[in-house]
């Protein structure tokens, strides 16, 4: 895992192959692995910063980042994933650390709200996210809204 490249780009900066690789990774994890047909192309990619790790053109970890007032009043992180071949290598932790840094540096706010799949609550709490108590089913998967202040 020595040839990992981290990227952060706006929608307009993405190349066509990068966009394809991102969408493929999201579909592979959220639609195929989690057996969850949902509208991945939701019209928000154009307003997001896209953060990902790649190796030899393959996406290993990915998320999208929003400034305040797009998804929530606070900045937010979403579509967080680590691809099957990259799991167990701490890339998810690096990804969230980089995402938090990017929000603090680019949007000048420590406040971040996320919609976390429930099995990841402990993972996110390690980065200072707290359970808001707002729980709901999204695409038949239990989620909890979390906030970091």
pLDDT by residue (tens digit) across 30-71? 999 998 888 899 999 999 999 999 999 899 999 999 999 999
Q: Are 41 and 67 in contact (CB under 8 A)?
A: no
pLDDT reported for residue 36: 87
Distances (CA, A) of 50 to 6, 18, 118: 11, 10, 23
pLDDT reported for residue 140: 87
pLDDT reported for residue 139: 84
Segments of the chain scoring below 70 in pLDDT:
1
**pTM for the structure as a whole:** 0.94
Distance CA 117, CA 138 (A): 9
pLDDT reported for residue 88: 92
What kind of architecture, by CATH, is found in domain 5-112?
Answer: 3-Layer(aba) Sandwich (3.40)
pLDDT reported for residue 25: 97
Distance CA 25, CA 7 (A): 15
Strand bridging mode 49-55 / 5-10: antiparallel
Give every CB contact of residue 59 below 8 A, 6+ residues apart in sequence.
21, 22, 24, 25, 52, 53, 83
Q: Give residue limits of the domains in the chain.
A: 5-112
- b/e map 53-64, b = 16+ CB within 10 Å: bbeeeebbbbbb
pLDDT reported for residue 20: 96
């Amino acid at each position: 895992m020595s040839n990992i490249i981290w990227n952060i780009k706006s929608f307009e900066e993405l190349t066509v192959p990068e966009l394809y690789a991102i969408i493929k990774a999201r579909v592979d994890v959220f639609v195929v692995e989690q057996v969850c047909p949902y509208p991945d192309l939701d019209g928000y990619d154009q307003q997001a910063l896209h953060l990902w790790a790649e190796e030899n053109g393959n996406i290993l970890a990915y998320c999208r980042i929003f400034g305040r007032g797009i998804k929530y009043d606070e900045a937010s992180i979403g579509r967080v994933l680590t691809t099957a071949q990259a799991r167990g290598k701490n890339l998810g932790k690096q990804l969230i650390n980089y995402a938090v840094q990017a929000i603090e540096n680019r949007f000048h706010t420590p406040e971040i709200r996320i919609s976390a799949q429930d099995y990841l609550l402990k993972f996110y709490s390690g980065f200072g996210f707290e359970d808001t108590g707002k729980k709901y089913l999204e695409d038949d998967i239990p989620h909890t809204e979390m906030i970091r202040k």
